[in-house]
C-alpha cells in the first residue's frame, strides 16, 4: 500500500536484516497510489523475489550433504519407537529459553507490509504479554478513503488489491 503511493520503503533495505544486503535488488514502487499502482507493485515485487531467489541459489556452496535424521534411525533399527505409530511423535524437543524482563518489538517485511511482534518478558519461559500487529489490519484502515465516490462493483476490486485476510483484522 505504501510503495504504491510513492514511498520507497522496504524494511529489508531500511533495517538491513538477514542477508538481503548481499543481493542485488531494488525496492519496487509507484507514485500514483491507485489500484493499478498496487497491482504493478505486486507484479514487480514478484520479479524482484525471483531475482533474490536466483542469487541465493547461486550462492549455495556445492558438495556432499548428509541427512542427520536417517543416522539417528539407523542406530536403533529394532526398537519399537521406529515403528510407524511413533515415527512422527516429537522428534525434536521444543527449545526453552528464559525471556528477560524487558519489552521488545521486532518487525519484518511481510508480503503485505510490516509485520510487528511486541513481547513483554517476565523472566519466564513464556512472555507475560505479546501482541502481533499484522499488515492487513493497518491496510484496512484506509478503506473508507479508498471507496469514497466509487461504484459498488469497484469495491470488490479495491478489497482484492488490499488483500485483506479477515483473521488478521480482528485484533
Direct distance between the N- and C-terminal alpha carbons of the chain, in angstroms, rounded to an integer: 20
Residues 22-59: tens digit of each pLDDT: 999 999 999 998 999 999 999 999 999 999 999 999 99
The residues, any chain, with a CB within 8 Å of residue 24's CB and separated by 6 or more, are 51, 55
Q: What is the pLDDT of residue 72?
A: 62
Give the DSSP letter of residue 22.
G
CB-based contact 120:106 (threshold 8 Å) = no
Query: To which H or E segment does residue 161 belong?
Result: helix 152-162
d(CA 7, CA 45): 15
Of residues 95 and 144, the one with the higher pLDDT is 144
> 39-66 b/e with 16+ CB inside 10 Å = b?
ebbbebbeebeeebeeeeeeeeeeeeee
* Whether pLDDT at 134 is above 60: yes
Q: What is the pLDDT of residue 83?
A: 66
Strands 129-133 and 103-110: unpaired
- What is this structure's pTM? 0.71
Amino acid at each position: 500500500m505504501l510503495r504504491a503511493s510513492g514511498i520507497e520503503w522496504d524494511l529489508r533495505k531500511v533495517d538491513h536484516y538477514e542477508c538481503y544486503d548481499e543481493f542485488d535488488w531494488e525496492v519496487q514502487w509507484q507514485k500514483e497510489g491507485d489500484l493499478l499502482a498496487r497491482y504493478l507493485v505486486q507484479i514487480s515485487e514478484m520479479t524482484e523475489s525471483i531475482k533474490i531467489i536466483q542469487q541465493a541459489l547461486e550462492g549455495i556452496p556445492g558438495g556432499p550433504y548428509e541427512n542427520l535424521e536417517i543416522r539417528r534411525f539407523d542406530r536403533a533399527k529394532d526398537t519399537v519407537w521406529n515403528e510407524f505409530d511413533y515415527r512422527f511423535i516429537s522428534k525434536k524437543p521444543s527449545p526453552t529459553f528464559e525471556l528477560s524482563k524487558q519489552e521488545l518489538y521486532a518487525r519484518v517485511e511481510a508480503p503485505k507490509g510490516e509485520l510487528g511482534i511486541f513481547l513483554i518478558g517476565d523472566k519466564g519461559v513464556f512472555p507475560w504479554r505479546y501482541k502481533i500487529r499484522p499488515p492487513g489490519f493497518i491496510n484496512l484502515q484506509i478503506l473508507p478513503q479508498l471507496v469514497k465516490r466509487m461504484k459498488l462493483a469497484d469495491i470488490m476490486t479495491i478489497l482484492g488489491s488490499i488483500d485483506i485476510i479477515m483473521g488478521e483484522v480482528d485484533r
